[in-house]
Structure 1
Amino acid sequence: MSDDRLTVRDATFALLRELGITTIFGNPGSTELPLFRAFPDDFRYIVGLQESVVVGMADGFAQATRNAAFVNVHASAGLGHALGNVFTAFRNQTPLVITAGQQARSILPYEPFLYAQQATEFPRPFVKWAIEPARAEDVPAALARAYYVAMQPPCGPVFVSVPVDDWDRPAEPIAARRIGTVIRGDVEVLSAAAQALTQARHPALVVGAGVARDQAWDEAIRLAEHHRARVFVSPMSGRNSFPEDHPLFAGFLTAGRGPIVRDLAGHDVIVALGGPLSLYHTEAAGPHTPAGSAVFLLVDDPALAHWAPAGTATVTNLKSGIADLLAFSGEVSRRAPTPKAPPPVLDGTEFTDSYLLQQIARLRPAGAVIVEEAPSSRPTMHDYLPITIPDGFYTCASGGLGHGLPAAIGVALARPDARVIAYIGDGSAMYAIQGLWTAAQLGLPMTFVVANNRRYEAMYHFAGVFEMEAPIGCTLPGIDFCAIAQGHGVPATRVTAASELDAALTSAFASTGPSLVEVVIA
């Protein structure tokens, strides 16, 4: 083959460039190396020290850039390491193009060392599409299709297995195409929902992550203000979709039948926007919605419309769907509801996560982005760390751990204009602590706050649900997060008293590179 012929690798980089993808997240393996021969100068390779960290970083980056991120991991074992965060990306509806190496085609019949058996089945069911192309020359077209599938709502990860000898094979160029992804909802359903809101006595809106994904922040505010409707956040939402200091903001729904019905009681019309209304974490009986309430669902995922136990649903882009609700709405004259009472101000007498979150809220720089993975602190965070700007919050929608720390790194890569603050529990941090090394190598100006209560606190809460006095194996003594951070190249400070907290946070928030504050709380 002459040197001037296009290779699969050349065609792939040209395609990625057209798609606006010039960052590759990966952890190198032997069957992946030929992809990076003569690596283009306009691309960058972000290395993570473990594949779950790699996928977590790519997830945060893709959410923050609103474009699919390209991930390269090792066959079988590497993909296996990554699957926890592949599952989270699936639940987050994050567009990822995940690739893994495969052994050379000529030796596949002999089940060679480090090959992938049934490569496309391994990551299912948590990828939208998976393929190992039948021919080397089909790889660029497979990657193009993978990108379009990943970006089609509901967005999500896809997987392409590429034999190691494919990258140097000849190929034809493949041009990127534009595929529209905005879906407008059913006009009859939208009109009925708008009419019901207009005629309601006490309407409520429930906003989910789809509002943030579709950049419908302003539309959601206008809809709430037009109808003077209380606004709740859907259970376990992974994004922020409404300013939490707004007079109409009413709080967060808990993932349980009884609490949802209780919190929405008295609202005769309930419209869910971009998220589930009836998402449950614990078993319970009883109604799914308050008696006598009319329920409408505007969602970006057909599956959510299918399994929702109540309500009239339509699949729609949330920006256009909410705009249609506004256009179809009539004038209303009802009085605005009473604003939610603020939480009491804490003085630090008890050095708790509540006080820590209150001080983060007070001291964070303007425009700061919060990435959270501290499950036991989530209810407290709702009270003491309000998110008031669009795209100001990211968390894990799957319930799995090990996403928040690397996702914060991905968000920081995508958002150099903002201070990214990763608020991470001590148990969660240890699932992906290797991510600190990448943050240090990149010199990202971000802050990791580790809330160290020396145990898996969420398990103690759930022990009561199952009528247990205490869970087994949930204490975590003896972990020195400052030593771990410094060993990865991240400067760190340990705080053990409320009197030390403000100075430590202020210094960390002003750092020009990554910093970590370990806060030992009750």
Structure 2
Amino acid sequence: MTEYTVRDAFYDYCRRVGMTTIFGNPGSTELKMFTDWPDDFEYVLALQETVAVAAAAGHALGTGRAGLASLHSAGGVGHSLGAVFNAYRDRVPVVIIAGQQGRAMLPYRPFLGADEPAEFPRPYVKSSLQPARAEDVPVALAEAHRIAMTHPRGPVFLSIPEDDWDKPAEPVEVREVRGDFSASPEALAELAEALNTARNPVLVVGSGVDDEQAMPQVVELAERTRSHVWISPLSGRSGFDETHELFRGFLPPVREHIVGRLAEHDLIVVLGAQVFAYHVHGEGPFVPEGARLFHLDCDPKQVAWSPTGTSLLTTIKPAVTSLLGLIDDGAADRLGRTAPEPRGLPATPAATEPMDVGLVLDGIRAALPEGTVIVEEVPSYRDAFHARIPINQSGGFLTTGSGALGWGLPLAVGRALEAAQAGTGERIALVIGDGSMMYSVQALWTAAQHDVPLTILILNNSGYGAVKALGRRLGMQNPPGSDIPELDFATVAAGLGVPGRRIGSPDELDKALAESLAHSGPYLLDITVASDNSPMYQPWAQ
């Protein structure tokens, strides 16, 4: 009888929890893992480790299960850390395994060995471990998976010496961990009373709402309390119907500007976001004078360091569901609460060459089929994107909530691969900047190899527009190193197996967008746009 090994236990456990797609870039210390590769697993080769982790994250966001990424020792883990950081900040469950030299070699600092593997990815993983014994690997895998999938979800790390795979082991039980939990009835009753008596309440919605698919409950809460709704600064997802009459927009990551936008409200309820994410330093209070703040989030760390307000440690969906049973439906009329003026869409700019980015974004909005999932990594034009392309479906918008570039393209590839595997007919659209594109351009090859349903729309302004905008805020007109001219993305894409073209004229836009979205596999459109010469985060004005 063949001996049951660590390898057998590993694949059996992954199979039972639905982690049968492995994203990786192999090295010598991973080869023994691949012995007798199981037919029901798919290995998705990434040409760089950032791509592997981000694509696993995109796949996880599509399936609702943990993604699985395989990396190489210390160097490969080092390459991936920008994506690990994003997965941690954006609460995406990814089980990351890394090869390690054999245990007998470790005392001698071997070539390609990791000296302190469990320390390397910290603090941006929920757990990190190299098991003490080979037979402990399956148990450690099961624990890591449970930690990844427990709120707040996030990446976990496991270093596995290469000679562990052939050692004897025991099967590991798949246990259920129910991760939803709610604040105490007394705390929710206090919040409900505040919502029932406030003059003008406002909800600030974060990624946690979308993560728990709680948008319907939050929309109902907003409607029944007639609360205005903002999305939290630099949110990695949407979480509210942006076409709804109660939706006000996106809070900027500047303290004074947030206070200005919330000045009319006496009650602020933050759902599934931190209080608040800032990008530049500001002064003064965190909330308007006299306003009361409640903060609902499932992360003990977030609720511990929040600078103001009353925090309720809770997952969002059960808490909001409970709140709905405590809301006084007559309070909104009795207190004279009113809906805001409709936001509307900005006017479409005139056709020019190079094209105004607003014209291009309006063209994208008109061309996108209903239900398209949009991934965004265009920091130069994120405000314009949000103003012109409203999201109205749960899971319909993905970006980085942490700011580490190189996430968008492989995230979109992984999400598109999941759509292809599931046969949903979804097409993923990536709106990305030329600077962002170059951080993980290798992901185009993976997209081509798997023929994923992905349209890549590059807003090409020949530079790091966000860096220039922040420079102008500081009085610098053109910071050094912020120009990146003469990048030919259509040629690069063709070399990696993805068809595409470059356009610069308004006359070409509509037809090119239609062709890119109708293509069955990946397609890239490199769109020349004019630079925006305004500073980032301009002072707020009504």
Alignment of 1:340 with 2:348, yes or no, is no
Q: Following the alignment from structure 2 to structure 1, what is the Cα–Cα distance between the partners of residues 292 and 495? A: 56
Aligned-partner SS, 1:409 = helix
**Which residue of structure 2 aligns with residue 481 of structure 1?**
489
CA contact (8 A) 2:98 2:160 kept: yes
Aligned-partner SS, 1:476 = coil
Letter in 1 for 2:524: L
**Which residue of structure 1 aligns with residue 397 of structure 2?**
393
Letter in 1 for 2:384: T
Alignment of 1:501 with 2:509, yes or no, is yes
Q: Following the alignment from structure 1 to structure 2, what is the Cα–Cα distance between the partners of residues 307 and 375? A: 27
Alignment of 1:349 with 2:351, yes or no, is yes
CA contact (8 A) 1:235 1:277 kept: no
Q: Following the alignment from structure 1 to structure 2, what is the Cα–Cα distance between the partners of residues 490 and 62? A: 24
CA contact (8 A) 1:448 1:517 kept: yes
Q: Following the alignment from structure 1 to structure 2, what is the Cα–Cα distance between the partners of residues 59 and 176? A: 22
Alignment of 1:458 with 2:466, yes or no, is yes
Length-normalised TM-score, structure 2: 0.94
**Which residue of structure 2 aligns with residue 150 of structure 1?**
148
Aligned-partner SS, 2:23 = strand
Aligned counterpart in structure 1 of residue 234 of structure 2, from 220, 233, 236: 236
**Which residue of structure 1 aligns with residue 369 of structure 2?**
365
**Could you report, residue by residue, the CA deviation over 1:76-117 in whole angstroms, capped at 9, with x for unpaired residues?**
000000011111111111111111111111111111111111
Letter in 1 for 2:379: P
Query: After the TM superposition, which residues 62-461 of structure 1 pair with which residues of structure 2 at under 5 Å, given as runs?
Result: 62-331=60-329, 332=331, 333=333, 334-350=336-352, 351-416=355-420, 417=424, 418-461=426-469
Letter in 2 for 1:25: F
Q: Following the alignment from structure 2 to structure 1, what is the Cα–Cα distance between the partners of residues 343 and 73? A: 53
Consecutive unaligned residues of structure 1, counting only runs of 5 or more, are: none
Tell me the C-alpha RMSD between the 2 structures.
1.1
- Judge which range, 191-200 or 484-493, deviates more: 191-200
CA contact (8 A) 1:56 1:410 kept: yes
Aligned-partner SS, 1:272 = strand
CA contact (8 A) 2:50 2:406 kept: yes
Please state how far the C-alpha of 1:317 moved relative to its aligned partner.
Answer: 1.2
- Judge which range, 6-15 or 332-341, deviates more: 332-341
Q: Following the alignment from structure 2 to structure 1, what is the Cα–Cα distance between the partners of residues 183 and 26? A: 43
The percent of aligned pairs where both chains have the same amino acid is 45
Q: Following the alignment from structure 1 to structure 2, what is the Cα–Cα distance between the partners of residues 337 and 505? A: 36
- Judge which range, 350-359 or 311-320, deviates more: 350-359
CA contact (8 A) 1:249 1:339 kept: no
Consecutive unaligned residues of structure 2, counting only runs of 5 or more, are: 531-542
Q: Following the alignment from structure 1 to structure 2, what is the Cα–Cα distance between the partners of residues 152 and 43? A: 24
Alignment of 1:17 with 2:15, yes or no, is yes
Aligned-partner SS, 2:440 = coil
CA contact (8 A) 1:235 1:276 kept: no
**Could you report, residue by residue, the CA deviation over 1:101-158 in whole angstroms, capped at 9, with x for unpaired residues?**
1111111111111111111111111111111111111100000010011111111111
Runs of 4+ in 1 over 3 A off after TM superposition: none
Please state how far the C-alpha of 1:348 moved relative to its aligned partner.
Answer: 4.0
Please state how far the C-alpha of 1:56 moved relative to its aligned partner.
Answer: 0.8
Letter in 1 for 2:364: I
CA contact (8 A) 1:300 1:317 kept: yes
Length-normalised TM-score, structure 1: 0.98
